């Protein structure tokens, strides 16, 4: 029983208690009773958050993260469902690997959905067995970490996926012939002598893929959109009625390329941190609905792999335990998004893209009990050592944030209570 | 001075101080026994992740002439790929007891990271495309010796693959700091992607720049790395951007010609021009030892008299 909270979902908001039993919401109303009461006074009760973009590193990268530890980090961040990217080792281009990921996910504290690779080995050449993966429940296909660079291969993948109900192709939009460097190409890369990854590397792929969507009719979801130009292209495509969606990562509305001046590879990420102007465009895209989802692009790396020079270190940063707080601190507090719109981008928006019927639902009797209780006023400081993730590569060390998940209910189980993981 | 990571660490006064010290050390190097006990008991390690006989030799010679002990550590590309982190490597070296590390690395910012991980002083001997501050110091030192203190307003053309050159970035900043008017020259594929942080202007018209240059600084064309997208061929590069005999003949009599070495004779510079009276290229190398003595002394010295 969640007592005294302000319930916010796609249908609106009201003050209500929420009673859960056997994995379902059984009652929403005033002055309810229950065997076990979780205090939600002063808090928001929302559908559990959904992260379309996480790297859980299992199999193959267990020194950085496992499905168990990544799911715990997700639950602590308020997420009840995550989509695990396929760049594991071996990659999720094979039914056996996907089945193993799903099995490990089922035992964890968060719903783990596997993305399937678009191409074998994520090499961008031959199609992965998308039909077999679809039969296991895969709905998002992506070579994330790599762009499907060949227009011919992308066209075939879109055509083929058109026969798989609910399938959406996620594009990591960075043309590898343009994105050869390590940070945003611009004033700072020129100053620091770090080879760049220009904005056009992203924008040319997004523009091209919009044309392919128009041709094939198969939906494309653009992962971690990071430039003002990309937002504009997606906005125009949606205005034409094309089935394209987009997500942004919190670091792309929080940090800029100036961070790279420290040469600290914790600020290295693909696509790279951009400029203030890009941040402004992303915020505008979030506000007007061009961007449907906020996704963490949680990318754990072992400490030693970031103890290298910037150019030699792998890209990626932690995100699951800071995504909600950054959304509240950077977007809701300054008035870029209303609380409801922020939750739409973190919960029911992404749930719709991934086709997750059990997540992001209106909180009413009969709905699955995937819920989070958010304390929107809690101030806290990011400390890498206290994160549940196995890795420590957060770029937000020492940063003060406002808002945090207090309780998380996944499949009816209170997996986080008062900010503490229960298992 | 604790470290020398970027030419920005010095400022005008710092550059002039190092150059003044180098003048004293140049005198030392011309003695019969070119050695002073200034850094006796100190250990300088050269830690090179990139091959470079010249820069390493210059630093080691400088350290030895100051009576420091030297250690030399080369890291092949393959052992990096085996996964030893840079942090582990430099902390291991430091554990052997070094007072200064001279670091060259193929990645920008590597010496900056090293400086965070070790207690030893760190000197950047070239990091990726980023900086090569001791090259910049020896360049301005060489120029100062020819122009005396009248550096202000000297028109310096830096010609070549400026975008990918650590020498260009450091030298352009150092020269501009001392009041030179810098112009960057090369095809657009070799000019910086953004000029906001660079001193001076950029142009692709070499012949126009040469009519008003006081110093022509040619960068080495790294043709071993040419991939065919920066320029079509060495022949075309030489035709458009090489300092050929014909171009050199049009330069005024006072114009100085510089090059950081090693030269590709016949590519960015004609052999006759490199050997000609306007060239100060050999002098740059000699000044390099004195400048590196000055840098090591500034960092490790007691502050007492030089010799």
pLDDT tens by residue, A387-398: 999 999 999 999
Distance between CA atoms of residues A369 and A366, nearest Å: 9
Which ranges of B178-225 would DSSP assign to H, the alpha helix?
206-210
Identify the residue among A309, A312, A314 best suited for mutation to test binding to B, counting B beta carbons within 10 A and taking the highest: A309
B107 contacts chain A (CB < 8 A):
yes
Which ranges of chain B would DSSP assign to H, the alpha helix?
11-29, 53-65, 77-81, 86-95, 110-117, 133-147, 166-177, 206-210, 234-241, 245-249, 271-275, 281-300
Q: Report the range of poorest mean pLDDT among B38-42, B80-84, B286-290, B296-300.
A: B80-84
Distance between CA atoms of residues B293 and A352, nearest Å: 66
Overall average pLDDT of the A303-314 stretch? 94
pLDDT for B79 equals 61
B113-144 burial, b at 16+ Cβ within 10 Å, e below that, comes to bbbebbebbbbbbbbbbbbbbbbbbbbbbbbb
Distance between CA atoms of residues A9 and A47, nearest Å: 6
Query: Mean pLDDT for chain B?
Result: 92
Handedness of CA B269, B272, B276, B281 (dihedral sign): positive
The three-state (H, E, C) secondary structure of A134-147, written as one string: HHCCCCEEECCCCC
Predicted confidence (pLDDT) per residue in B252-287, tens digit = 999 999 999 999 999 999 999 999 999 999 999 999
Question: Do A263 and B113 count as a contact with CB atoms less than 8 A apart?
Answer: yes
Question: Do B109 and A196 count as a contact with CB atoms less than 8 A apart?
Answer: no
Closest Cα partner for A222 from A246, A240, A202, A205? A246
For A266, residues 6+ apart whose C-beta sits below 8 A from its C-beta are A306, A317, A393, A394, A395, A397
Which residues of chain B have a CB within 8 Å of the CB of A310? 107-109
A297 is catalytic: yes
Please check the confidence at residue B230 and state whether its pLDDT lies above 90. Answer: no
Q: Kindly write down the DSSP assignment for every residue of B243-306, as one continuous string.
A: B-HHHHHTS-TT-EEE--S---BTTTB-HHHHHSTTB-HHHHHHHHHHHHHHHHHHHHS-SS--
Please check the confidence at residue A368 and state whether its pLDDT lies above 60. Answer: yes
Q: Report the range of poorest mean pLDDT among A146-155, A414-423, B29-38, B285-294.
A: B29-38
Which residues of chain B have a CB within 8 Å of the CB of A262? 112
Distance between CA atoms of residues A120 and A132, nearest Å: 13
Which ranges of A111-227 would DSSP assign to H, the alpha helix?
130-135, 151-161, 187-192, 199-216
For chain B, the residue count is: 307
Percent of chain B with pLDDT over 90: 83
Q: Is B166 left (phi over 0), alpha (psi -120 to 50) or beta?
A: alpha
Q: Report the range of poorest mean pLDDT among A82-96, A332-346, B227-241.
A: B227-241
Question: Do B107 and A311 count as a contact with CB atoms less than 8 A apart?
Answer: yes
Confidence of residue B306 (pLDDT cuts 50, 70, 90): low
Distance between CA atoms of residues B72 and B92, nearest Å: 13
Stretch 105-134 of chain A: residues touching chain B, C-beta under 8 Å: none
Distance between CA atoms of residues A205 and A220, nearest Å: 12
Predicted model pTM: 0.95
pLDDT for A167 equals 98
Stretch 288-317 of chain A: residues touching chain B, C-beta under 8 Å: 304-305, 307-312
pLDDT for A375 equals 98
Identify the residue among B126, B173, B194 best suited for mutation to test binding to A, counting A beta carbons within 10 A and taking the highest: B194
pLDDT for B151 equals 79
pLDDT for B229 equals 82
Of A93, A292, A297, A375, which one is the catalytic site residue?
Answer: A297
B296 token code pair: 């090591």
Distance between CA atoms of residues A196 and A189, nearest Å: 6
For A264, the 3-state DSSP assignment is: coil
Helix axes of A67-76 and A95-106: crossing angle, nearest 10 degrees: 50
Predicted confidence (pLDDT) per residue in B74-93, tens digit = 876 546 656 678 899 899 99
- Residue scoring higher pLDDT (B84 or A19): A19
Q: Is the ipTM of this complex over 0.90?
A: yes
Which residues of chain B have a CB within 8 Å of the CB of A305? 85
Please check the confidence at residue B1 and state whether its pLDDT lies above 80. Answer: yes
Question: Do A310 and B107 count as a contact with CB atoms less than 8 A apart?
Answer: yes
Please check the confidence at residue A380 and state whether its pLDDT lies above 90. Answer: yes
Which ranges of B148-253 would DSSP assign to H, the alpha helix?
166-177, 206-210, 234-241, 245-249
Percent of chain A with pLDDT over 70: 100
pLDDT for B150 equals 67
Strand partners, B202: B184
Looking at the complex, report in whole angstroms how far the Cα of residue A248 sits from the nearest Cα belonging to chain B: 26
Q: Using CA coordinates, name the residue in chain A closest to B131.
A: A193
- Residue scoring higher pLDDT (B208 or B302): B208
Distance between CA atoms of residues A43 and A5, nearest Å: 5
Distance between CA atoms of residues B166 and A234, nearest Å: 38
Around A169, how many Cα atoms within 13 Å sit in the side-chain half-sphere? 32
Distance between CA atoms of residues A380 and A383, nearest Å: 9
Q: Using CA coordinates, name the residue in chain B closest to A260.
A: B109
């Amino acid at each position: 029983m969640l007592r005294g909270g302000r319930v916010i979902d796609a249908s609106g908001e009201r003050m209500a208690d929420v009673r859960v039993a056997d994995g379902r919401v059984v009652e929403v109303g005033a002055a309810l009773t229950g065997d076990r009461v979780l205090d939600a006074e002063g808090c928001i009760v929302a559908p559990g958050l959904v992260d379309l973009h996480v790297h859980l590193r299992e199999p193959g990268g267990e020194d950085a993260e496992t499905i168990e530890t990544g799911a715990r980090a997700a639950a602590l961040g308020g997420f009840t469902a995550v989509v695990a990217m396929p760049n594991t080792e071996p990659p999720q281009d094979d039914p056996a690997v996907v089945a193993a990921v799903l099995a490990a996910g089922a035992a964890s504290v968060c719903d783990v959905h596997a993305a399937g690779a678009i191409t074998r080995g994520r090499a961008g050449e031959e199609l992965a067995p998308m039909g077999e993966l679809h039969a296991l429940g895969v709905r998002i296909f992506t070579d994330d970490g790599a762009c499907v660079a060949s227009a011919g291969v992308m066209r075939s993948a879109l055509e083929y996926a058109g026969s798989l109900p609910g399938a959406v192709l996620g594009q990591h939009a960075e043309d590898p012939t343009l994105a050869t460097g390590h940070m945003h190409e611009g004033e700072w890369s020129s100053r620091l002598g770090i080879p760049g990854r220009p904005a056009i590397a992203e924008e040319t792929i997004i523009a091209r893929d919009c044309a392919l969507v128009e041709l094939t009719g198969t939906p494309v979801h653009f992962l971690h959109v990071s430039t003002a130009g990309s937002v504009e292209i997606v906005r125009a495509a949606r205005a034409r009625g094309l089935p394209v969606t987009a997500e942004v990562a919190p670091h792309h509305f929080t940090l800029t390329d100036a961070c790279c001046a420290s040469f600290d590879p914790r600020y290295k990420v693909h696509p790279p941190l951009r400029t203030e102007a890009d941040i402004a465009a992303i915020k505008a895209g979030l506000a007007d609905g061009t961007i449907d989802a906020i996704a963490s692009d949680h990318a754990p790396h072992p400490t030693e792999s970031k103890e290298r020079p910037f150019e030699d270190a792998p890209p990626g940063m932690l995100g699951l335990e800071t995504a909600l707080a950054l959304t509240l601190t950077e977007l809701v507090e300054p008035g870029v998004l209303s609380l409801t719109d922020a939750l739409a981008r973190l919960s029911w928006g992404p749930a719709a893209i991934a086709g997750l019927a059990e997540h992001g639902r209106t909180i009413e009797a009969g709905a699955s009990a995937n819920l989070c209780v958010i304390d929107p006023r809690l101030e806290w400081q990011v400390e890498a050592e206290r994160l549940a993730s196995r890795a420590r590569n957060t770029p937000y060390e020492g940063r003060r944030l406002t808002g945090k998940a207090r309780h998380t209910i996944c499949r009816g189980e209170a997996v986080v209570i008062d900010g503490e993981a229960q298992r | 001075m604790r470290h020398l990571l970027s030419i920005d660490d010095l400022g005008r006064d710092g550059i002039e101080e190092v150059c003044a010290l180098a003048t004293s050390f140049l005198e030392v190097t011309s003695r019969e026994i070119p050695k002073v006990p200034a850094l006796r008991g100190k250990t300088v390690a050269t830690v090179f992740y990139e091959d470079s006989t010249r820069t390493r030799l210059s630093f080691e010679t400088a350290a030895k002439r100051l009576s420091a002990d030297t250690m030399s550590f080369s890291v092949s590309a393959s052992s990096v790929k085996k996964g030893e982190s840079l942090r582990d490597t430099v902390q291991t070296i430091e554990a052997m007891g070094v007072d200064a590390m001279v670091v060259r690395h193929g990645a920008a910012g590597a010496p900056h990271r090293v400086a965070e991980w070790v207690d030893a002083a760190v000197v950047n001997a070239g990091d990726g495309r980023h900086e090569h501050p001791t090259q910049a110091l020896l360049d301005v030192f060489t120029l100062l010796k020819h122009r005396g203190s009248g550096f202000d307003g000297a028109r310096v053309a830096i010609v070549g693959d400026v975008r990918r050159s650590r020498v260009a970035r450091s030298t352009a900043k150092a020269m501009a700091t001392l009041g030179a008017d810098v112009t960057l020259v090369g095809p657009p594929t070799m000019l910086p992607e953004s000029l906001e942080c660079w001193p001076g202007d950029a142009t692709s018209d070499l012949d126009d720049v040469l009519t008003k240059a006081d110093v022509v600084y040619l960068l080495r064309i790294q043709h071993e790395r040419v991939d065919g997208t920066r320029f079509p061929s060495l022949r075309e590069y030489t035709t458009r951007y090489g300092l050929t005999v014909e171009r050199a003949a049009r330069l005024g009599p006072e114009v100085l010609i510089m090059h950081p070495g090693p030269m590709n004779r016949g590519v960015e510079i004609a052999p006759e021009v490199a050997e000609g009276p306007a060239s100060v290229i050999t002098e740059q190398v000699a000044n390099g030892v004195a400048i590196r003595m000055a840098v090591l002394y500034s960092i490790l010295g007691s502050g007492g008299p030089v010799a």
